[in-house]
Amino acid sequence: MSALHTPNSRAYVHLACGSTTIVSEGDFTAICDPFRFISGTFCVNCGTHFPLKQFVWADTNEVIADARERWAKEAPPAVRSLNSGVGCWVAFALGAAVGAGVGWSVGNGAMKAVGIGAGVGALVLPIIWLGIIAPTISKSVFGWDPRLLK
């Protein structure tokens, strides 16, 4: 399927009640991305969340949790690296360094400002890395879009 035909939704079935739910837009992107922490999803019939092991994709009948595990293993090595613990630690260290530099500049060399900047940077950059940077690089550089996975 090409980028011109990238789906924005997909149906899944709750094994416990047999009801079909359609997931779309941002929630669809999140549930399809095996590198995002998603432990469960919503059943419209039951009106609550359940673990991913309790749902199958309607079109393939594959358990969503199993599909996500398979997709993570099948992802290109560079995409796996970007989303790995190592990638997150690099973002953490880089964020701390950049934050310390900003703290140094803003605080006129005060160590308290450097420490605060390092702490904020170490928290903020990994969140941006995993939520925006890694998915964007995965898609634009490596052509890997989890919404296309089956």
Q: What is the pLDDT of residue 1?
A: 42
DSSP single-letter state for residue 34: T
Question: Do 9 and 67 belong together in one domain?
Answer: yes
Last residue of a domain, one of 43, 74, 105: 74
Count of domains observed in the chain? 2
Both tokens assigned to 28: 């669809």
- pLDDT (tens digit per residue) in 116-137: 889 988 888 888 888 888 888 8
- The model's pTM is 0.75
| Domain coverage including residue 17 | 3-74
Q: CB of 122 within 8 A of CB of 88?
A: no
- What's the pLDDT at 49? 95
Compute the mean pLDDT over every residue in the chain, rounded to the nearest whole number: 89
What confidence score (pLDDT) does residue 133 get? Answer: 87
* Cα separation, 84 vs 66, whole angstroms: 19
Below-50 pLDDT ranges, the chain: 1-3
Q: Residues 12, 45: one domain?
A: yes
Same domain, 70 and 96: no
Choosing from 31, 51, 74, the residue where a domain stops is 74
